[in-house]
Structures are given as structure tokens and as C-alpha cells.
């Protein structure tokens, strides 16, 4: 019994909360005013045959360092096998690069109410 409670406490600490899919599903049935008050002015908006599409974009860029040859620890490090640390050597042929993560959420509204939504991008998880 004691281990069951411990396992529950440990697993409860790993909970991350609802997914983006679940959070956006909560807006089905909401009106356009609710979307604008929660997310602001949409990045894109179009109305076709009485159906309105509101799109919200979220982007972030992350800098990824260039490649390097890692340092060596232990008794065989160093030129005379004296132990210690052999320093890292960065490879100048692999410079840092920027990776862009994005997610576009598009809400479909009919008669002023959200009836569906789509998520598109590499950061919608």
C-alpha cells in the first residue's frame, strides 16, 4: 500500500496539463467576441459564404549551437594519459542556426459561433 501511494505521488508530479487540442476544443460554441477577448485581433480573417475563419499564429525562434567535438574526461584524457580534462573543440564549419517553431490555430465560425478549429504547424503538440 505504501508503494502504491508513493507511485501515485511521483506520477502526479509528471502531469503536464491539457494539450493544445483540448484547450482549443473548449472554445467550440463560443462567440467571436470571446475569441477576440481571449486571443486578441486575429492575424488572418476571411468570410466565405457566411462562414468566417479566424486564424491566430504563434511563432518562436530558438538558437541551436553549432556542432563540437566533446571534451574527454577520465584516466585516458590528455596527451600523456595523465587524466583530467581535454578541452572541447568547436567545429567552425557548423555555425549556430535558428530553428523556428510555429502553430496556427484557425477557428471556423457559423452564425457567429465556433463550430470547429484546426491546428497546423510544428509546435502544436
Q: Which three cell numbers stand for residue 93?
A: 564549419
pLDDT band of residue 50 (cuts 50, 70, 90) is very high
Residue 73 is predicted with a pLDDT of: 52
**pTM: predicted TM-score of the whole model, two decimal places:** 0.65
In a domain, 7, yes or no: no
pLDDT band of residue 21 (cuts 50, 70, 90) is very high
In a domain, 34, yes or no: yes
Q: Which DSSP string corresponds to 4-65?
A: HHHHHHHHHTT-----HHHHHHTTTT-BHHHHHHHH-S-SEEEEETTEEEEEEEEEEEEEEP
Q: Which three cell numbers stand for residue 1?
A: 500500500
Q: Flag whether pLDDT at 19 surpasses 80.
A: yes
Q: By residue range, what is the domain housing residue 101?
A: 29-121
In a domain, 12, yes or no: no
The total domain count for the chain is 1
In a domain, 114, yes or no: yes
Amino acid at each position: 500500500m505504501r508503494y502504491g501511494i508513493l507511485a501515485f505521488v511521483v506520477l502526479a508530479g509528471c502531469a503536464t496539463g491539457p494539450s493544445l487540442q483540448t484547450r482549443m476544443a473548449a472554445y467550440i460554441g463560443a462567440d467571436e467576441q470571446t475569441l477576440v477577448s481571449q486571443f486578441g485581433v486575429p492575424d488572418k480573417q476571411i468570410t466565405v459564404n457566411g462562414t468566417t475563419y479566424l486564424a491566430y499564429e504563434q511563432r518562436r525562434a530558438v538558437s541551436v549551437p553549432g556542432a563540437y567535438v566533446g571534451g574527454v574526461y577520465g584516466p585516458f584524457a590528455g596527451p600523456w594519459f595523465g587524466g583530467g580534462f581535454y578541452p572541447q573543440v568547436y567545429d567552425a564549419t557548423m555555425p549556430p542556426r535558428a530553428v523556428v517553431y510555429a502553430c496556427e490555430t484557425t477557428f471556423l465560425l457559423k452564425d457567429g459561433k465556433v463550430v470547429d478549429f484546426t491546428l497546423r504547424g510544428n509546435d502544436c503538440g
